[in-house]
């Protein structure tokens, strides 16, 4: 199998299969322990952080294009993902009113994380606003599709840094992004189904929102192949995207879902496992 074919297959599994699996789980409305979800999220965040700091960002600096260039590209990656998440929040948060003004905007329970609270809210109102929830699901599918482009770039950039070989960093990122896409897929499927869409159609649309991951991966890889500057920009942008996902999404959610010291220890364990994967 060629370089491009391997990259497409890997990102299809991470993007399409990840969100699609989330959609399937969303149709079944399976709920799990906040504690378990929190520890898994924080562990994944630790592994991501390790890959970014010890592999992607380090590779970007080693291209010798200048550390300022790398820092700027990381900052751009952070801002792009922040803006995409801001759009998603603006479109979805109003669906279910928060308990009070002090309620955290970040999900503090598994129900909020996968948007099943939206489902229950509309069930209690006897589905008097199905169309609005359906529209919200479509909007979220589009927003997550855009969100998946820079996430795919992280895989492509890591792939390019390993000279077209599916190295440990690219493979680990593909697995972690696939896991990260599961709750996103659930967040898309739940409002679509509540809005009256057939379950199989909701799963199909949810899985389709992961296709841009492939586009992002190809873009990240091609930028990395241009030369040292392209590789540095691609790796820097990918690092910034992952840093925001870790510190802006995963860790706040994990800590709010399980308020103890254990998520911190789980994240540290993830960092150490990431180091083992990279340097072993």
Q: In the chain, where are the structural domains located?
A: 3-279
- Distance CA(125)–CA(201), nearest Å, equals 24
The confidence score (pLDDT) of residue 219 equals 84
pLDDT of 8-49, one tens digit each? Answer: 888 888 878 888 887 787 677 545 567 877 887 788 888 888
Q: What is the dihedral of CA 166, 170, 175, 180, to 10 degrees?
A: -150
pTM for this model (two decimals):
0.72
pLDDT of 65-91, one tens digit each? Answer: 889 999 999 999 899 888 877 776 676
Contacts of 61 (CB under 8 A, 6+ apart): 67, 70, 232
Give the C-alpha distances (Å, rounded to integers) separating 212 from 5, 49, 71, 166, 208. Answer: 16, 23, 26, 20, 8
The confidence score (pLDDT) of residue 131 equals 63
Residue 216 has pLDDT above 90, yes or no: no
Residue 260 has pLDDT above 70, yes or no: yes
pLDDT of 156-166, one tens digit each? Answer: 877 777 665 55
Q: And the tokens for 185? A: 């897929």
On whether the CB atoms of residues 160 and 224 are closer than 8 A, the answer is: yes
Task: Average the pLDDT over 49-54 and give the result.
Answer: 87
Percent of the chain with pLDDT over 70: 71
On whether the CB atoms of residues 198 and 137 are closer than 8 A, the answer is: no
- DSSP 8-state class, residue 237: H
- Distance CA(75)–CA(87), nearest Å, equals 19
């Amino acid at each position: 199998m060629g370089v491009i074919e391997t990259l497409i297959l890997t990102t299809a599994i991470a993007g399409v299969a990840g969100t699609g699996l989330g959609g399937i789980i969303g149709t079944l409305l399976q709920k799990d322990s906040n504690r378990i979800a929190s520890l898994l999220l924080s562990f994944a965040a630790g592994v991501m952080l390790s890959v970014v700091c010890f592999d992607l960002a380090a590779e970007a600096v080693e291209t010798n294009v200048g550390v300022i260039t790398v820092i700027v590209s990381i900052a751009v990656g952070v801002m792009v993902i922040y803006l995409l998440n801001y759009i998603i929040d603006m479109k979805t948060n109003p669906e279910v009113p928060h308990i009070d003004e002090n309620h955290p905007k970040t999900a503090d329970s598994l129900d909020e994380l996968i948007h099943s609270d939206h489902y229950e809210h509309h069930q209690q109102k006897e589905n008097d606003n199905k169309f609005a929830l359906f529209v919200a699901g479509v909007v979220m599918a589009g927003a997550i599709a855009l969100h998946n482009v820079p996430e795919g770039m992280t895989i492509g950039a890591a792939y390019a840094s390993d000279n077209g070989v599916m190295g440990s960093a690219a493979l680990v990122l593909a697995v972690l992004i696939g896991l990260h896409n599961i709750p996103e897929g659930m967040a898309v499927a739940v409002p679509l189904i509540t809005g009256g869409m057939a379950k199989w159609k909701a799963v199909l649309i949810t899985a389709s929102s992961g296709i841009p991951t492939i586009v992002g991966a190809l873009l990240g890889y091609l930028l990395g192949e241009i030369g040292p500057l392209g590789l540095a920009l691609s790796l820097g942008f990918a690092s910034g995207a992952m840093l925001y996902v870790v510190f802006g999404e995963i860790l706040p959610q994990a800590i709010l879902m399980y308020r103890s010291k254990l998520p911190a220890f789980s994240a540290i364990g993830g960092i150490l496992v990431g180091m083992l994967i990279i340097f072993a």
